[in-house]
């Protein structure tokens, strides 16, 4: 079991970095791309749940860590998406009132 621990830690670190980069880069994306990023996070949550159910040998600490990383990132991603949506609506309202 100790031989697989470095691999599991590597998976955890790579997942953390990947989800963090996806969430951080959402600020510069269009609304459609932000929505797709949120969709990817949602699919990732479902995929993780499927893996946790199908693979009983996965360590609990890794499973809990992966789920928490994706859930927290999805909250930040949703916040960024809603801010961008509000900003676009304000820009459209300002453009319509300026005409």
> Mean pLDDT over residues 20-48, rounded?
84
pLDDT at 7: 80
Query: Domain ranges in the chain?
Result: 29-87
pLDDT given for residue 99 in this prediction: 63
Q: Rounded to whole angstroms, how far apart are CA atoms 78 and 49? A: 20
The closest alpha carbon to 38, from 23, 48, 20, belongs to 23
Report the percentage of the chain scoring pLDDT > 90: 0
Q: What is the pLDDT of residue 41?
A: 82
Mean pLDDT over residues 5-34, rounded?
83
Quick one: DSSP state of residue 57? T
- The vertex-18 CA angle with 12 and 23, nearest 5°, equals 125
Non-local (6+) Cβ contacts of 60 within 8 A are: none
């Amino acid at each position: 079991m100790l031989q697989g621990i470095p691999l599991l830690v590597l998976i955890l670190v790579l997942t953390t970095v990947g989800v963090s980069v996806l969430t951080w880069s959402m600020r510069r994306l269009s609304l459609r791309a932000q929505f797709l990023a949120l969709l990817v996070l949602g699919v990732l949550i479902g995929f993780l749940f499927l893996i946790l159910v199908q693979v009983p040998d996965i360590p609990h600490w890794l499973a809990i860590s992966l789920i928490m990383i994706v859930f927290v990132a999805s909250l930040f991603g949703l916040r960024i998406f809603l801010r961008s949506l509000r900003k676009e609506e304000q820009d459209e309202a300002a453009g319509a009132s300026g005409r």
